[in-house]
Chains A and B, each alone.
Chain A
Amino acid sequence: MHEWAIAEGIIKAVEEQLRSGVKPSRIVVVAGELQNLDLEVMRGYLDPALSELVPEASVEYEVEEARFECRSCGFKWSLKESVLTSEEREAIHFLPEAFHVYIRCPRCGSRDVEVTSGRGVRLRIEY
């Protein structure tokens, strides 16, 4: 699964924090809506590994809404307003930047679009 690769990166990042002598008290996995990850699958990989690595830390998952802004006309909109086929969603799941191929500004049709939030996965760590 592709989610495995992302979870592996998160586990390695936390391991490195521990090696450098810092102990996280709270770990938040922020998943961008655009990447459309299966959070249950992610939890299946991450929860057992993180509870073993950092048993005292709380682990939370957040989905960040994907929003776009057109660089040509300034229009702003959300992923929910975009119509995508399942194949296009799959392509964006693997490579979020593929949205430049499949998503146009609903107002002017430009593909020079910026994703202003909710692109991919970030790891927020508190100590």
Chain B
Amino acid sequence: MELDPRLWGIRSMLSRVRHKILVLSGKGGVGKTLTTALLGLAAARKGLPVGALDLDVTDPNLHVVLGVDPGREWPGERKGILPVHVAGLRFMSVAFFTRGRAAPLRGREASEAIREILSATNWGQLELLLVDMPPGLGEEMLETLKLIPESIALVVGTPSRLSRDSLARLLSLLAENMPTRRILLLENMARGEAVLTSLAREYGARYIGSIPYDSRVEEALGDPSRLLDTGPGKASECIVEAILDYLSS
């Protein structure tokens, strides 16, 4: 019999992480990476031990939002690979090992990379780990949901009709195939009244709040303090509170 010891390594490495949140979306461009960064930074500002993991193994860019240069930073080692500290956040990304360059991975190879990062990263004790997933309903999402069965799905969508169409498919898949998984829905780039609440109700997801559109975000990318001072940054502090309330209920 042959076994993959990383499957046990993942459980061991995540055993001191209280809540694992996979940030998901059906389509790209809905602000999933920015949301991961803002929620992580807002939680860190509250003094919570929090981690952010970029699992977009072929096209990682959470480091851009956080202002980390993967060509200069190198994670340390102690009983595994140690995340890099950014504005109170513990951060890990495939980009450290690819130096931010393109890594053309096929489906199975992407899963191998995901298993490797999850089994090797020593997060220590965390209250929250936010995992920025690649968009889509394919290999990476299915593999990660299987590897971290206790994780909570935080689905990000925008009010756009295109996003809603894709959201419905993702929520339906999660609701049908993983009925016991806790699902949160976050509305990003909101303009006025919330429009995704009914979609959340329809698929048994908890609508956790909205983050407004703010054109100043683009200029603040790479600067955690400035990001938190934007409208989305302030809204993220409320979303973190809502998530913590939900998790403690």
Residues of A within 8 A of B (CB): 1-2, 4-6, 8-10, 12-13, 16, 91-92, 94-98, 100-101, 111-112, 114, 119-127
The 5 nearest A-B residue pairs measured at CB = A9-B9, A9-B5, A12-B8, A5-B80, A95-B97
CB distance from B20 to the nearest CB of A (A): 18
- Residue contact B99 to A101, C-beta cutoff 8 Å: yes
Interchain CB contact under 8 A, B103 and A97: yes
Assess the B8–A97 pair: CB atoms within 8 A: no
Cβ-defined partner of B122 (8 Å) among A5, A91, A120, A125: A5
Q: In the complex, how many angstroms separate the beta carbon of B94 from the nearest chain A beta carbon?
A: 6
Q: Is the CB of A91 within 8 A of B97?
A: yes
Q: Indicate whether A101 sits within 8 Å of B98 (C-beta atoms), given known contacts A6-B5, A123-B3.
A: yes
26 sample A-B contacts, Cβ–Cβ < 8 Å, listed by A number: A2-B80, A4-B79, A4-B80, A5-B79, A5-B80, A6-B119, A6-B120, A8-B8, A13-B7, A91-B96, A91-B97, A94-B97, A96-B112, A97-B105, A97-B116, A98-B98, A101-B99, A101-B103, A119-B112, A120-B116, A121-B5, A122-B2, A122-B5, A125-B2, A126-B1, A127-B1
Chain A hits for B103, CB < 8 A: 97-98, 100-101
> Inside 8 A of B6's CB, which chain A residues have their CB?
6, 9, 120-121
Q: How many A-B residue pairs have CB under 8 A?
A: 113
The listed residue (A112, A120, A122) touching B3 by CB distance below 8 A is A122
Chain B residues contacting A92 (CB-CB under 8 Å) are 97
Complex Cα spacing A119 to B120, Å = 15
Q: Which residues of A contact B44 (CB under 8 A)?
A: none
In the docked arrangement, what's the CA distance between A120 and B77, Å?
18
The 8 Å CB contact of B119, one of A5, A96, A100, A125, is: A5
Contact present for B9 and A12 (CB under 8 Å): yes
Q: Which residues of chain B in 1-17 are interfacial with respect to chain A, using CB atoms and an 8 Å cutoff? A: 1-13
B57 at the interface (CB under 8 A from A): yes
Is the C-beta of B46 less than 8 angstroms from some C-beta in chain A?
Answer: no
A22 → B minimal CB distance (Å): 9
> Distance (Å) between the CB of B69 and the closest chain A CB?
15
Number of interface residues of B (CB under 8 A): 40
Given A4-B79, A5-B81, A97-B57, does the pair A13, B8 have CB atoms closer than 8 Å?
yes
The answer for the CA separation of A10 and B3 in the assembled complex, in Å, is 9
Name, among B97, B98, B105, B122, the residue most crowded by chain A CB atoms within 10 Å (CB to CB): B97
Whether a CB of chain A sits under 8 angstroms from the CB of B179 is no
- Assess whether B101 is interfacial by the CB under 8 Å rule: yes
Instruction: Write out the residue numbers on chain A whose beta carbons fall within 8 Å of the beta carbon of B5.
Output: 6, 9-10, 12-13, 121-123
Task: Kindly state whether residue B117 has any CB partner on chain A within 8 Å.
Answer: yes
Interface string of B91-120 (1 = CB under 8 A from A): 000101111011111100110110011011
Please tell me which one of the listed residues A10, A95, A112 contacts residue B113 in the complex, with CB atoms under 8 A apart. A95
Most buried by A among B78, B98, B102: B98
Determine the chain B residues whose CB is within 8 A of the CB of A4 once the complex forms: 79-80
Chain B positions within 8 Å of A2 at CB level: 77, 80-81, 120
Distance in Å: Cβ of B148 to nearest Cβ of chain A: 15
A101's partner among B2, B11, B101 (CB-CB below 8 A) is B101
Q: In the complex the two chains form, what is the Cα distance from A112 to B105 in whole Å?
A: 8
What separation, in Å, do the CA atoms of A77 and B94 have in the docked complex? 26
- Complex interface: chain A residues within 8 A of B77 (CB): 1-2
